[in-house]
Amino acid sequence: MSVQSIIIKIFRGRLQLLATLSKKRAGNEAFRIFCTPYFRMAYKESEVKGSERLSFKFGSANTIGYRWNRGDRKKLLIVHGFRSASANFLHFTAPLIQKGYEIVAFDAPAHGLSEGKRLNAIEYKDFITALHDHYGPFGAFLAHSFGGLAVSMNLAELSENTNIKTVLVAPAANSRQLIEFFLKKCVSGMRRYVTTFTPIFIASAVKILNGSPLQGVLMLSMVLFSGYTIQVILLLL
């Protein structure tokens, strides 16, 4: 049995116990688990070659980022996915520099080398907005998975976004499907609780996300790739 399977069983037992006491507490706890990256990507800062190390305070968390080619004519922000880190995108920096981009990439709160315990989509969107205000404005975004969702939400709120180039690699475009997959994993074997447990989970999510439903917020066209096709991405940027 894998470590992941053991952890899922522990969470399932915990949620089942909470559900017998209070379905509301179980729903809130499920959402907390959903937003927690229990497995972080580990890397050494020495692996990030030729960059300027950045530190940015977001809320109570100190986040770590990097900048390449400072002062060039165009600015691009790299946004990683859930349980990932900026170091996953190092192979993009050299060709993007050749195209004349100043590149900024941060480990999101609760990811990589940044502080924090959990992260939801609204918080990630707000983090991108803060980076845009402090290190931007960015004329281009390269985002993957959960980062694609957050970038799309950010762009939808920008008053001037028509000229911003955006590449989303396998974005998390179907938030309902993600939630249903999570519930299937954690609520399996708890059939008598599902009818009330699931709505409470969704209600908890909407409440914590400041009343903004995730489904339907993606207003931009999604670009889906089967893998990291650098040549195609460079053509789009």
Say which residue, 212 or 81, is predicted with more confidence: 81
What single-letter DSSP state applies at residue 37? -
Per-residue pLDDT tens over the stretch 34-46: 788 888 888 999 9
pLDDT band for position 190 (cuts 50, 70, 90): very low
Q: Are 151 and 141 in contact (CB under 8 A)?
A: yes
* Amino acid 89: pLDDT: 92
37 prior amide bond cis, ω within 30:
no
Inter-residue contact 6 to 39 (CB < 8 Å): no
65's enclosing H/E stretch is strand 61-68
The per-residue pLDDT for 2 is 66
Domain ranges within the chain, ordered by starting residue: 1-34+177-217, 49-173+221-237
Q: 111 and 35 in contact (C-beta within 8 Å)?
A: no
pLDDT value, residue 27: 75
Mean pLDDT score of the chain: 77
Could you read off the pLDDT of 59-118 as tens digits, one per residue? 999 999 999 999 988 999 999 999 999 999 998 999 899 999 999 999 999 999 999 999
Pick from 14-23, 26-35, 142-151, 211-220: least confident: 211-220
Q: What is the mean pLDDT of residues 192-207?
A: 48
Q: Residue 59: what pLDDT?
A: 94
pLDDT 10s digits, 169-186: 877 766 666 666 666 666
The CATH number of the domain covering residues in 49-173+221-237: 3.40.50.1820
pLDDT interval class at 17 (50, 70, 90): confident
